[in-house]
Amino acid sequence: MLQVQFIRQNKELVLERLGIKNFKEPGIVDEVLALDDQRKKLTLDYDETQAQINTASKEIGKLMASGDKAAAEARKQDVAALKQALGPINESLIATEKLLHDTLVKLPNLPGPKVPAGKTPEDNLEIRSGGTKPVLHAKAVPHWDLTKQYDLIDFELGNKITGSGFPVYKNRGARLQRALISYFLDFNTANGYTEVLPPYMVNEASAYGTGQLPDKEGQMYFVTEDNFYLIPTAEVPVTNIYRDEILKEAELPVKMTAYTPCFRREAGSYGKDVRGLNRLHQFEKVELVQLVKPEQSYEVLEEMVNHVEKLIQSLGLPYRILLLCGGDMGFASAQTYDFEVYSAAQDKWLEVSSVSNFETYQTNRMKIRYKDENGKNQLVHSLNGSSLALPRILACLLENNQTENGILLPEVLHRYFGADRI
């Protein structure tokens, strides 16, 4: 959530950056400032009225002590009238503060200075690429055929048990999934991340804290009886670990990694882009989250990008890194890099990771702060990234490494999987 003071002091900058993000309702900025003016006036009226009540109450005590009961009774009547006036002022103040908050959360995070203008994925900038696209044998097939051929994943069975987008991993498919999860977690913890295993459902406050509410409620599964949301990513519960906490400066950076299943409704998804593992309603992902001092967050963002890049390189997959344009970024992000790996059998690039800096957008909502060297409480910056999302990684590993005599596996997975091929 943006801070009102920053908006007031930098209105033109805010409007310019919202334009980069292609935000369609810039008038909300003026609504926020008008509501803040109204809030300040009501706060002043409330404080002045309360001060008059306090002054009159002290006078009543002095008048009673001096024996001037008539004057004391008159001042009591004044206090009663002031208290009666105070109630509506307080009600208006509470209502205005709520409306200000509800209006403020409609504004997305501002894109950082490096974010390019643009409206669609075609406007994203390729930063760099790596790996070599494989040349497949003549009988090569997409992963949805490979998983059937080698009895790795049963999409029809998942459809029977639950519905489309909920596959059942079987035999060596389940083992490979577990191998990838273990390898990703070990890779992350070896690089200083602390592993956590969070809940898979969160309350409304947690979903609000990371920006899923009120922006993405249509993409989340909701448990109506308990008012819980199934998590769309481990980012939500993991970042909320420090909600309403004040960290010591020496505790920063906080580096966490977590494996969780993820649940997304993906409303409106259809066609060839959702076939097989390309887009699921339930999938597995290993996540990175960092909480850092503000002046370090963009340096840390690049470090996280390098970390994910090394992980993809270790799997031997051809990849490219994209800096997202303003129109293709998430609501809460200030800057995002996407990683895509090349799917040889489908002849297309598939997104497997996003690494983002949210600056103070999330931490302002969650009140995650640290005490600086001057003893002043400051908001930390939050960052997160996929390290990695499994379905498309698995799809590309199967497709790119298929041979006429089986599917070869990257060397880093041999000890986790227990063999060098399927």
**Which residues fall in the annotated binding site for L-serine?**
233, 264, 287, 384
The binding site for ATP comprises 264-266, 351-354
| Contact in structure between 403 and 137 (CB atoms under 8 Å) | yes
Closest by CA to 279, choosing from 161, 391, 158, is 391
Cα dist from 49 to 46, 85, 155, 232, 327, whole Å: 5, 8, 68, 48, 48
Residue 323 bridge partners (DSSP): 125, 337
Phi, psi torsion values for 3, nearest 5 degrees: -100, 135
Q: DSSP class of residue 124?
A: P
The binding site comprises 233, 264-266, 287, 351-354, 384
SS3 337: strand
- Positive or negative CA dihedral for 105, 353, 221, 205? negative
CA dist 134 and 19 (Å) reads 41
Burial 370-404 (b: 16+ CB within 10 A, else e): beeeeeeebbbbbbbbbbbbbbbbbbbbbbbbbee
| Contact in structure between 388 and 381 (CB atoms under 8 Å) | no
CA dist 279 and 295 (Å) reads 36
Strand order in the sheet with 201-202: 201-202, 228-230, 222-223
